[in-house]
Homo-oligomer: A and B are copies of this chain.
Amino acid sequence: MNITLKQAQAVIEKALAKSKEIDTKMNITVVDTGANQVAFARMDGAWLGSADISLKKAKTACFFGMPTGEIGKLSQPGQPLFNIEHSNGGLISFPGGLPIKDGSGQVIGAVGVSGSSVENDHAVAKAGTEAI
């Protein structure tokens, strides 16, 4: 099962609402299980460089079916996946990307958020996933 546009737009709207609530300006990307973009929104005044980061976070979470921050723990110097970020045209391995699961726990896509601290990025991504 792949995420639908309707579901992806619901994720974006939830994430936008959370972003406004905590007074941040975010880029939000939703991808399907093939890591292909389904929906995107850049808030007015959001960092321009964060658009690509939000896409790469969504793709990274999709590629490995886990939160981007988990990858980042393993990619530090001396850790098992050091410099994994060089794969797949560039991964982003700090928090802000999360798999999106349906009611049965199956991954149907992923969301990536970038534009503030990694804590805020993660919080907005999490809010987005709760739309499903």
Contacts and interface: CB of A to CB of B under 8 A. Distances in A.
A12 B84 CA distance: 23
Nearest to A90: B86
Interface in A23-72: 32-44, 47-53, 56, 59-60, 62-65, 72
Interface of A: 4-5, 8-9, 32-44, 47-53, 56, 59-60, 62-65, 72, 75-78, 80-94, 117-118
Nearest to A25: B5
B44 A62 contact: no
A84 B40 contact: no
Contacts of A59: 49
A92 B85 contact: no
A64 B49 contact: yes
Given A36-B34, A39-B41, A52-B88, A94 B82 contact: yes
18 contacts: A33-B34, A34-B36, A35-B48, A47-B65, A49-B59, A49-B60, A49-B87, A49-B91, A50-B63, A52-B87, A53-B84, A53-B88, A56-B86, A76-B78, A80-B118, A82-B93, A85-B86, A87-B92
